[in-house]
Structure 1
Amino acid sequence: MALCVFIITKGVLCPAKTVAGRRLACSFLLALLRSKALHAASRQLAEMVDYVEAAAADATAAADATAAAAGPAANHYVQLYAISCLPALVYDVIAFSILTPQTYAGEVPQLRGLCAELVAALEDSRALEHTARAIIRQACNPFSFRASMSKVAVTATIAYSSLCDLHDRWSIPRGGADDKALAARLRAVASGPCVQHAVRCFGLATLCAVDGGSAYGLPGELLAVLPSGRGSDSVWATAGGVFGAATGPLMTTVRMLQLGDPAPPGRRGALALALRVGWLAVTQTAGQADGGGGGGGSGASGTGGASPLAAVVPPRDVFRLAAEALEAAWRYLSLPRAVAPAASGAAVAEAAGWWRLAAAVVDRAVPCSAADDKRLRPAWLGARLAEAWRLLLPDCDVLCLPAEPPPTIAAALDGGLLRCLELLMRRAGRAPQGPEAAVLQGLLGRVRRFQSLRSYLAPLLAYGEPRQAAALVATLRKLLRMADSRAPGAEDRAPTPNSDDDIFPAIVADVLTTVEEQEAAHAAPAHELPSPASQQLLRLLSCAACEWLPELSQSLSQTLSSGGAASPGRLSALLPWLPLLAGRCGVQHYAGADASPHRGDACGEASGDGEAMGDGGWRALLLAEVGAVPLLGASLRAMPRLAELPPESRLPLLRSLVAACCAVAAVARGRHWNAAAATADRPEQQGTGDAAAAAVRQGFLEGTAVQAPAAASAAAAPSGIAAAGTPAAPPLPWQPGLLREAATGLRSCGDQGMAAQAEALVAYLELGGDGACEPPWYAPPPPGPLVSALPPPNEARRLLPGRCANPSCANLEGDSEADLTLKACAGCGAVGYCCRPCQTAHWRAGHKGACVRPGGEGSR
């Protein structure tokens, strides 16, 4: 009877290619499910299994030849039921429910009703549970037909895989309450103990055949009967499986692990199984025995040899299998759900193993991803990594990081997240349309929905290996250098806030705003010595400023000078840094006056006599490397474009622009605000110094420009420029009219104080703006605790790995900047290059005149 129902069902479903035919088939399936056919078939199958087991026991006990002869016949009917009636019927109904909505979206309500009837029938009849029990019990029965059992297992595996597809169909994020309730019921059906046990047996049989690893106690006779992935491709092809003989059971195993409960085999058993499948997929790409070592190191089987897997898993399935295994393993980690202080060493080790597998999937499996795989693409993996990464964030600011990393961060760093991130960036830079770029886009897109990128990168920079963290900073500079600062057609669009055209400038902009925002948040200096993690993060933030600000400035200057539209987001990230750098040009006076234990060491006062003005390189960074003067000139010329922004976006940019102009003008003219402080510190000039310092402070607080007294200007300023006998500096190349427009815009927005500073600077520029006239005394905001704690450029750059001597180097070969091998210059041997093109470019750029031959003779 059941076989007849199956044949009729096949006949109804196969020709359903029209709307009318599909509706007829759907109505028939609804009637079939409501007829309790699954209930009857389940009862009959359970009774047959009980009868066969009883007959086998009686035959063994009594050595009854008649009972023994009846065993194979009974087994044949049991296997026929298991092959033809239950799994195949369930598979056909599920396949019909999944495929139809892709073409006929209007039938979704009817198909939702069909799916609900199917789930109700599976819940009441427990058909899948009875089938799984029958398969496992018959696999261990000596009367079973081995060939039939292989087909039974394959058919059941395909049915379970289709059950996962149906769950995915109704668990989409945009689904309604009814869809989510249906997905939850499907998850419960898939969580049955017999179903989960059968699926894991099928997966283990394949695993053991491929990698020769542990069976975790599974009986050998069961492994011998179940399909192992070798020589069973024809069975899978006949059964209609989407995947190959090895991929199918493994894929179904890890997908069902995502739906099922952890017991049995328990949380750790499920985790070990998922990680083992993931490492097995990764070793597919290795093509040699070294891949097996990775699995052992991650807590997998520990058995080597990638060559067997390479023969049975198609390369197009590698990424999907590895990604599904990674997702299944994440579900069974205990660390993300544990309270951080209570996390055990075992939980941290498990999480580190997961991150190690994730890094290997990015490194080896992502390049194998198929572009036409609509279900699982590299961008999905990026979003999954972002979800995991989101749990790593400590709730601390830069100056108050704990000395030891939280367990989640320790696990991620031990698993190689920092190096994995740099690998993704370098490969995305080399191939912007490649799969790694898709992973990075998915990761960063999801990250920016949760929080800013700086919240994610800061813990890695603070607690990661310093050289590796500095290599990431250097890689981002090269990516900035390669990124186009505007998208095609950007000059024809009105600028919008935070419209970054490339992911790498977006990363840089987010990280740079860390210092700006936290500087504003710290009202008072910290009087405790920062932890080693905070000190490392400060060094890397200073290093990032030295690396990124010049590239960002050059890109913006070129774009603005050519009449293009610069991103307001990049301007907002760069302009506030200019007053901060200007304040650091005289920070030694603050460091000397403040007894905070972290200041003197962190600021690196006067690293050497050869450093410019004894400031550690801050002035050179601001004026020479960043090129603040031409950058501000180009920004002022972009005022008409800024006027197109809405007021809430235009006002912060105008404030930043005017504040930067005032601060840079003070430093560039050599009349730094610390001149007044230096005069006030000299007892012999207390009379004029106190008045000058008070005037400067009052002028800054009130937002007005204060003319410096002659006595104060005659004092030796820290800039090193004497009042007399020094050639006049060239005038600032800024157009006063543009600054006047900025002042008008500020007044219209209600900022009278900043408008007054802009107008005072306009008056100075109209007088000539050079050393022949007295500049107004501006007081750039004194550096706060965070900026004061940043090490100077000369110290911060020591963190960077060996650098190519070509200043325009954009070589992204290899997976880390720290891995680049430099070859010494054949002429002088004093500098090194990462590649021949860099050596040629540097030679033409000027090294030809500076290169000194070994004999001591230069070419100059």
Structure 2
Amino acid sequence: MPAPGGVGAAQPTRQLVMSSTATITFGLDVLRKASRIIAAQQQRLAGAGAVWQPGVREQLALDEVECWQIGYGLMRHSWRWASAKELETLAKLITELPLEAMPPSGALPVAMPPILAGALAGGLLPCLEGALRRARHAPKDGADSALLALLVSYGQQGGLWPLVARALAYGEPRQAAALVATLGKALRTFAVPLLKAGALSTGPSCPLAECTAALARQLLLDTVDWLEAAGVRGGPAAAAATAASPPQQQLVRLLLSCAVCEWHPPLCDLVSHYTTLMLSGQIDVQSAAYSRDVAAMSAFATLRNRWLPVLARRAERSEVEARAVPGCAAAGEGWRQLLLGSLGVVSALGASLAAAPRRGEGPHGARGFDSMGPLAEACCCVAAALPREVRAAAVEAGVRAAAVAGGGAAGSGAVGGPSGRARPGRGSGGPALLAAGWSLESARGLAAALRAKREEGTAVAAVALEAQLGQWVAGGGEEGSAGARSAVRALGRLPQIDRAARALPSDPADAQSMLRTCDNPACDNLSGESEADLTLLKADV
């Protein structure tokens, strides 16, 4: 037996040791050369066709996966040392995937795009999720925060939606669900709370919180745009063909159910928080100090008001479908519970209605964040889907408005909050505005603002809503909602809204089982690289 260290002894493995900056420079150089070699091989393979020797195509696919693994490995482990130029180069691994727009028919084919196969196998989904989780621990100037900012910019140009939608549809289910869960947890536990806490602050904002919220907003807005434009066309046969596609099923469960339920409530809560501050006079939307906040909140309000009609129509449809099956009435409650529970739509829309322009104020919304057309669509559809709850809110608004008028209170304004940015005056609120809610005056003001903007079709719907509120307040037809249904039928965009609603599953609860995450809504554990890797402990009851 050879002596230790002799001829037969095992030799130590040699390792190349480089500095942090040299690692990323060397890695990028390797990545560029590998990409050029693969591109040249792909061109030769396309030209040779069947003549090409067997096994080369499969080997090329493996080489592509390895190339993506190098790139995403650099992003995970070397990102913090990258310069601005290197940061942009690495981000192109995501932003320059040559994917076409989502299919206009609303149906995804069974086979994924070849370019996406290598990226998913190389770690695209864990890379995106890991950036969200790591950025939480370096929110001000971390490189992962910079990546999220680049993704938001890319999303605003329309490029992120085709990538994320396909990645969720074709990706490994646990990885795809983990990304949805992580973004939801990030919104719920730090992004939205930080944005709410900074509403009255004069200090600098948190870039990570803004980027996280903007990322979810852009993806949800792109989703509803696609659903309204595509949906499921061609009747029952087309619907059956769409449902038969496994990628389509996974996309519906993850993006159209889980993401809406996980991402939408905290974003709606953010809009409601700012609206309450505005109505109480602590924020003056006419002040230049709030111009950036107003632009951001207007975008979030538009997102909310685009989705609420779709969710309300889906809730109505699910209720009708459930009643048609004996003993299954409770099965259609999922979307309704979402609207009434975590979204709190009745009070949220009541506050937005209270902020709508009054007579003589013009069509631009002197106090609120909402565009009048989407707000009217949301109010009409919610009133039709939740008539009992909206009737109760309308009656309460009438009683409160009468009490305010009887007490002589006027909406003269309120002093500013601790930041000193809020000022009394034209944009301030007061008791009268806080009491308005689902009042006749609010609905009347909404209709007037729509007519001033020449949105006649939506104005007709708002007038029908006003008439329904009047009947409820007067006590006639307490259980009737014919006026609300008439308001919905008057909406010019009803076909697009219904097209999107039909694409949603009948109950969102079925998809929630895909999200392997803690049941505790206060859980803010974003340690590790993935939600799927966390050990779930039974919570104390």
Q: State the partner residue of 1:331.
A: 36
* Residues 306 and 378 in structure 2, CA contact (< 8 A), matched pair in contact too: yes
Aligned pair 1:509/2:217, yes or no?
yes
Shift in CA distance, 668/386, structure 1 to aligned 2, threshold 3 Å: same
* Residues 357 and 364 in structure 2, CA contact (< 8 A), matched pair in contact too: no
Q: State the partner residue of 1:653.
A: 371
For residue 153 of structure 2, the aligned residue among 445, 457, 477 is: 445
Shift in CA distance, 549/446, structure 1 to aligned 2, threshold 3 Å: closer
Equivalent runs, 1:748-759 vs 2, <5 Å = 748-759=452-463
Shift in CA distance, 763/502, structure 1 to aligned 2, threshold 3 Å: same
For residue 796 of structure 1, the aligned residue among 504, 511, 520 is: 511
Q: What residue identity is the alignment partner of 1:352? A: V
Percent identity, please: 33
* Residues 148 and 212 in structure 2, CA contact (< 8 A), matched pair in contact too: no
Cα distance in 2 between the residues matched to 1:304 and 1:344: 36
Structure 1 residue 671 displacement after superposition? 9.9
Q: State the partner residue of 1:314.
A: 19
Cα distance in 2 between the residues matched to 1:759 and 1:388: 48
For residue 273 of structure 2, the aligned residue among 558, 580, 587 is: 558
Q: What residue identity is the alignment partner of 1:806? A: N
Aligned pair 1:362/2:68, yes or no?
no
Q: State the partner residue of 1:584.
A: 314
Q: State the partner residue of 1:381.
A: 90
Structure 1 residue 439 displacement after superposition? 2.7
For residue 119 of structure 2, the aligned residue among 401, 412, 425 is: 412
Aligned pair 1:575/2:301, yes or no?
no
Cα distance in 1 between the residues matched to 2:65 and 2:124: 9
Structure 1 residue 735 displacement after superposition? 3.3
* Residues 196 and 273 in structure 2, CA contact (< 8 A), matched pair in contact too: no
Q: What residue identity is the alignment partner of 2:225? A: E
Cα distance in 1 between the residues matched to 2:145 and 2:362: 33
Shift in CA distance, 800/769, structure 1 to aligned 2, threshold 3 Å: farther
* Residues 418 and 468 in structure 1, CA contact (< 8 A), matched pair in contact too: yes
Structure 1 residue 379 displacement after superposition? 4.0
How high is the TM-score relative to the length of structure 1? Answer: 0.46
Aligned pair 1:760/2:464, yes or no?
yes
For residue 637 of structure 1, the aligned residue among 340, 354, 363 is: 354
Q: What residue identity is the alignment partner of 1:439? A: L
**CA offsets 1:14-67 (integer angstroms, 9 cap, x no match):** xxxxxxxxxxxxxxxxxxxxxxxxxxxxxxxxxxxxxxxxxxxxxxxxxxxxxx
Cα distance in 1 between the residues matched to 2:474 and 2:33: 68
For residue 807 of structure 1, the aligned residue among 478, 497, 521 is: 521
Structure 1 residue 570 displacement after superposition? 1.5
Report the aligned-residue RMSD.
3.9
Equivalent runs, 1:622-633 vs 2, <5 Å = 622-633=339-350
Structure 1 residue 501 displacement after superposition? 7.7
**CA offsets 1:676-715 (integer angstroms, 9 cap, x no match):** xxxxxxxxxxxxxxxxxxxxxxxxxxxxxxxxxxxxxxxx
* Residues 560 and 634 in structure 1, CA contact (< 8 A), matched pair in contact too: yes
* Residues 732 and 770 in structure 1, CA contact (< 8 A), matched pair in contact too: no
Cα distance in 2 between the residues matched to 1:608 and 1:551: 36
Cα distance in 2 between the residues matched to 1:629 and 1:407: 46
Q: What residue identity is the alignment partner of 2:69? A: R
For residue 334 of structure 2, the aligned residue among 607, 614, 617 is: 617
Cα distance in 1 between the residues matched to 2:107 and 2:345: 32
Aligned pair 1:459/2:166, yes or no?
yes
Cα distance in 2 between the residues matched to 1:817 and 1:735: 45
Q: What residue identity is the alignment partner of 1:741? A: G
Equivalent runs, 1:34-73 vs 2, <5 Å = none
For residue 666 of structure 1, the aligned residue among 381, 384, 390 is: 384
* Residues 384 and 485 in structure 2, CA contact (< 8 A), matched pair in contact too: yes
Shift in CA distance, 589/430, structure 1 to aligned 2, threshold 3 Å: same
Cα distance in 1 between the residues matched to 2:275 and 2:177: 30
Cα distance in 1 between the residues matched to 2:73 and 2:146: 17
Q: What secondary structure does 1:809 align onto?
A: coil
Cα distance in 1 between the residues matched to 2:332 and 2:40: 46
Q: What secondary structure does 1:778 align onto?
A: helix
Q: What secondary structure does 1:799 align onto?
A: coil
* Residues 357 and 446 in structure 2, CA contact (< 8 A), matched pair in contact too: no
Q: State the partner residue of 1:546.
A: 261
Q: What residue identity is the alignment partner of 1:504? A: T
Q: State the partner residue of 2:409.
A: none
Shift in CA distance, 444/763, structure 1 to aligned 2, threshold 3 Å: closer
Cα distance in 2 between the residues matched to 1:546 and 1:756: 31
Cα distance in 1 between the residues matched to 2:331 and 2:226: 27
Cα distance in 2 between the residues matched to 1:573 and 1:438: 24
Q: What residue identity is the alignment partner of 1:625? A: S
Cα distance in 2 between the residues matched to 1:757 and 1:445: 36
Q: What residue identity is the alignment partner of 2:111? A: E
* More relative contact order, 1 or 2 (CA 8 Å, 6+ apart): 2
For residue 99 of structure 2, the aligned residue among 392, 404, 410 is: 392
Shift in CA distance, 380/639, structure 1 to aligned 2, threshold 3 Å: farther
Cα distance in 1 between the residues matched to 2:503 and 2:312: 15
* Residues 67 and 122 in structure 2, CA contact (< 8 A), matched pair in contact too: yes
**CA offsets 1:797-824 (integer angstroms, 9 cap, x no match):** 12111x2131122221111111111122
Q: What residue identity is the alignment partner of 1:551? A: P
* Residues 398 and 537 in structure 1, CA contact (< 8 A), matched pair in contact too: no
Structure 1 residue 378 displacement after superposition? 2.6
Q: State the partner residue of 1:21.
A: none
Cα distance in 2 between the residues matched to 1:380 and 1:644: 48
Structure 1 residue 786 displacement after superposition? 4.5
What 5-or-longer segments of structure 2 have no aligned partner?
Answer: 1-10, 50-55, 284-293, 391-434, 489-493
* Residues 394 and 459 in structure 1, CA contact (< 8 A), matched pair in contact too: no
Q: What residue identity is the alignment partner of 1:654? A: M
Shift in CA distance, 438/479, structure 1 to aligned 2, threshold 3 Å: same
Shift in CA distance, 574/500, structure 1 to aligned 2, threshold 3 Å: farther
Q: State the partner residue of 1:535.
A: 249
* Residues 363 and 452 in structure 2, CA contact (< 8 A), matched pair in contact too: no
Shift in CA distance, 337/618, structure 1 to aligned 2, threshold 3 Å: same
Q: How many residue pairs align between the two structures? A: 434
For residue 186 of structure 2, the aligned residue among 467, 470, 479 is: 479
Q: What residue identity is the alignment partner of 1:619? A: R
Shift in CA distance, 447/544, structure 1 to aligned 2, threshold 3 Å: closer
Cα distance in 2 between the residues matched to 1:616 and 1:639: 31
Aligned pair 1:401/2:108, yes or no?
yes
What 5-or-longer segments of structure 1 have no aligned partner?
Answer: 1-302, 493-498, 592-603, 673-730, 828-850, 852-860
Q: What residue identity is the alignment partner of 2:247? A: A
Shift in CA distance, 552/446, structure 1 to aligned 2, threshold 3 Å: closer
Q: What secondary structure does 2:525 align onto?
A: coil
Shift in CA distance, 448/355, structure 1 to aligned 2, threshold 3 Å: farther
Cα distance in 2 between the residues matched to 1:618 and 1:336: 50
Structure 1 residue 590 displacement after superposition? 7.6
Moved more, 752-761 or 392-401: 392-401
* Residues 318 and 333 in structure 2, CA contact (< 8 A), matched pair in contact too: no
For residue 742 of structure 1, the aligned residue among 434, 437, 446 is: 446
Q: What residue identity is the alignment partner of 2:307? A: W
**CA offsets 1:572-597 (integer angstroms, 9 cap, x no match):** 22212111111112324886xxxxxx
* Residues 519 and 785 in structure 1, CA contact (< 8 A), matched pair in contact too: yes
* Residues 379 and 443 in structure 1, CA contact (< 8 A), matched pair in contact too: no
Q: Which has the larger radius of gyration?
A: 1
